[in-house]
């Protein structure tokens, strides 16, 4: 074994890996490439964060920042590209013209792990589902890592490869440069229009990107999917019938082998038929979710019932997220009793329906991770209202990614009384809703947005930051936007508290 490893590292030493992007995924990839004996070079067009620069220096990894040097890059045997860099970036186009393979960190790291992978994708709900799945498996005693589009770099964790399982959140951008990545169990939560600017405003290209999560799965693997989502079911049907390939550019294959496909639904179902179809569903009338599953080639039906009241997060979308996470853990062998217990002590990620504070009976909620229309819809829908009374002050706006606000007009009309548009250019958002809500305000300052929201709110109201837009007009990312909101709320709480003491 040691001799084989030495031989592999000697072979790798003659191969050059260039990594475009020197943040979490790029530096993690560099560490893994270095550990496997490759000649490694990292190139970033921006200034590296100090912690990443120090890591590269400490590990004797060559790098450059504030620009790309062609003669260092175009001699690569393979390029690992950060998911944030678009395909039409100048250096990416040059690499492509040289016919140098471009892969993602996910693809690279997956080559070197012995762990079984759980791959989770979708337009909305990925992070919540990923965190819940990881939490439940950890509670059930699995040796499981958390990686991908969340937390610490997948590649960095594979250097030690200390886990039996990895729960991997994968975005469409990461999947675009995956070719051999094979999860043992994959989940597709939903597909709604998002990132259309990266997919030539073509929803079919985006759908094909999401479906790459199953491209290398075999009948021994599992695919959990949202049977209520037309974009998902129509594409799956076309793949099954051999009308389209799994991914963009793949040839249709009428006899293509697929993983074991298990549908998840928020609609009620006939209990016996659901068992036959291994369909998991929401029995709303009795307040339960019902998870059905049987292994291929087995007549043994496994059913688990969980009261919705035991689920840790509000909203219909989170019922679905919990169902698909629980079903995955159920399939992997976690005990139903342990899973029930695990639900009780789960905390969601920051910036996702995060309760920040309550001041004078006004509740502040941070949902900064909401960067598209559907995500904002789920957030608005999950807030309970009084009878015939709007109770929401909604802070929204930022960089519009081609949003169709008409999709949520009725919900906004029902729930929102005040809209505060936060961003450099929110003309479209403002114009869409100025006659729908009682008051619309525009600002470019998060502190001003919070102060005005509180001044206009009444006891019992909720101030919800759920932008439905990207953040990079005023902030570096959604995390900075959410943190700024929380700081502004906490500053307001301290100010009001001091005034009371006087």
The CATH number that applies at residue 383 is: 3.90.190.20
Q: What is the mean pLDDT of residues 170-177?
A: 94
Same domain, 82 and 137: no
DSSP 8-state assignment for residue 349:
P
Instruction: Indicate whether 249 belongs to any domain.
Output: yes
Same domain, 71 and 200: no
- Whether residue 3 has pLDDT greater than 60: no
Token pair listed for 250: 């793949």
Output the average pLDDT for the chain: 92
Provide the 10 A C-beta neighbour count for residue 102.
19
- pLDDT confidence of residue 500: 67
DSSP 8-state assignment for residue 112:
T
- The response to whether 119 counts as a known ligand-binding position is no
First to last CA, the chain: 73
Instruction: Report the percentage of the chain scoring pLDDT > 70.
Output: 95
- The response to whether 212 counts as a known ligand-binding position is no
- Around 13, how many Cα atoms within 13 Å sit in the side-chain half-sphere? 6
- 198 — pLDDT class (breaks 50, 70, 90): confident
Question: How many domains is the chain partitioned into structurally?
Answer: 3
- Whether residue 8 has pLDDT greater than 70: no
- pLDDT confidence of residue 382: 86
- pLDDT confidence of residue 194: 75
- pLDDT confidence of residue 1: 47
* Partner residues linked to 263 by β-bridges: 225
Model-level pTM? Answer: 0.82
CATH code of 255's domain: 3.40.1190.10
Instruction: Indicate whether 1 belongs to any domain.
Output: no
- Whether residue 403 has pLDDT greater than 70: yes
Cα 275 to Cα 152, 240, 294, 332, 468: the distances in Å are 38, 22, 8, 18, 38
Instruction: Indicate whether 7 belongs to any domain.
Output: no
- The response to whether 190 counts as a known ligand-binding position is no
Instruction: Tell me which of 496 and 407 has the higher pLDDT.
Output: 407
3-state helix, strand, coil in the chain (%, to 5): 40, 20, 40
- 179 — pLDDT class (breaks 50, 70, 90): very high
Q: What is the mean pLDDT of residues 206-214?
A: 95
- Whether residue 499 has pLDDT greater than 80: no
- Whether residue 298 has pLDDT greater than 60: yes
- pLDDT confidence of residue 502: 59
Does residue 294 contact residue 301 with C-beta atoms inside 8 Å? yes
Q: What's the domain range around 445? A: 354-501
- The response to whether 36 counts as a known ligand-binding position is no
Q: In Å, how far from its chain's centre is CA 196?
A: 16
- Whether residue 123 has pLDDT greater than 80: yes
- Whether residue 398 has pLDDT greater than 50: yes
Alpha carbons 293 and 301: distance in angstroms, whole number: 6
Does residue 382 contact residue 479 with C-beta atoms inside 8 Å? no
- The response to whether 397 counts as a known ligand-binding position is no
Instruction: Report the percentage of the chain scoring pLDDT > 90.
Output: 77
- The response to whether 122 counts as a known ligand-binding position is yes
- The response to whether 496 counts as a known ligand-binding position is no
Q: Could you say which of 82, 103, 124 is where a domain stops?
A: 103
Token pair listed for 360: 């004078």
């Amino acid at each position: 074994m040691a001799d084989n490893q030495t031989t592999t590292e000697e072979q790798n030493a003659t191969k050059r890996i260039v990594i475009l992007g020197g943040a979490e995924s790029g530096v993690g990839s560099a560490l893994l490439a270095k550990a496997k004996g490759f000649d490694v070079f990292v190139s970033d067009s921006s200034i590296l964060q100090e912690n990443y620069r120090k890591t590269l220096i400490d590990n004797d990894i060559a790098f450059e920042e504030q620009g790309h040097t062609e003669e260092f890059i175009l001699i690569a045997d393979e390029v690992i590209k950060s998911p944030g860099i678009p395909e039409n970036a100048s250096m990416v186009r040059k690499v492509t013209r040289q016919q140098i393979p471009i892969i993602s960190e996910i693809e690279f790291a997956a080559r070197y792990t012995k762990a079984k992978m759980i791959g989770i994708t979708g337009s909305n709900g990925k992070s919540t589902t990923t965190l819940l799945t990881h939490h439940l498996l950890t509670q059930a005693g699995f040796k499981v890592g958390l990686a991908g589009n969340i937390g610490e770099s997948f590649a960095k964790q594979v250097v030690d490869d200390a886990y039996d399982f990895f729960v991997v959140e994968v975005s469409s951008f990461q999947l675009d440069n995956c070719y051999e990545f094979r999860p043992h169990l994959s989940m597709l939560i939903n597909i709604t229009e998002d990132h259309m600017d990266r997919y030539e405003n073509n929803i079919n290209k985006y759908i094909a990107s999401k479906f790459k999560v199953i491209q290398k799965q075999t009948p021994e693997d599992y695919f959990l999917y949202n049977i209520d989502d037309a974009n998902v079911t129509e594409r799956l049907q076309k793949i099954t019938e051999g009308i389209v390939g799994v991914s963009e550019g793949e040839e249709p294959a009428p006899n293509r082998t697929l993983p074991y496909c298990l549908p998840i639904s928020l609609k009620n179902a006939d209990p016996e038929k659901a068992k036959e179809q291994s369909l998991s569903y929401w029995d709303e009338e009795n307040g339960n979710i019902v998870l059905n599953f049987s292994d291929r080639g087995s007549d043994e039906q496994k059913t688990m019932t969980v009261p919705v009241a035991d689920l840790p997060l509000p909203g219909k979308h989170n019922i679905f997220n919990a169902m698909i996470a629980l079903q995955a853990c159920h399939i992997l062998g976690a005990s139903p009793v342990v899973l029930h217990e695990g639900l009780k002590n789960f905390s969601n990620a920051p910036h996702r329906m995060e309760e920040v504070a309550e001041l004078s009976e006004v509740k502040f909620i941070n949902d900064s991770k909401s960067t598209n229309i559907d995500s904002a819809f789920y957030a608005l829908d999950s807030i309970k209202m009084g009878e015939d009374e709007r109770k929401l002050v909604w802070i929204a706006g930022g960089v519009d990614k081609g949003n169709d606000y008409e999709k949520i007009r009725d919900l906004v009309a029902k729930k929102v009384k005040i809209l505060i548009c936060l961003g450099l250019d929110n003309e479209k958002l403002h114009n869409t809703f100025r006659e729908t809500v009682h008051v619309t305000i525009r600002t470019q300052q998060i502190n001003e947005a919070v102060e005005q929201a509180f001044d206009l709110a009444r006891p019992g109201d909720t101030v919800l930051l759920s932008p439905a837009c990207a953040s990079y007009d005023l902030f570096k990312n959604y995390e900075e936007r959410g943190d700024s909101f929380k700081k502004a709320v906490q500053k307001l709480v301290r100010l009001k508290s001091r005034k009371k003491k006087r």
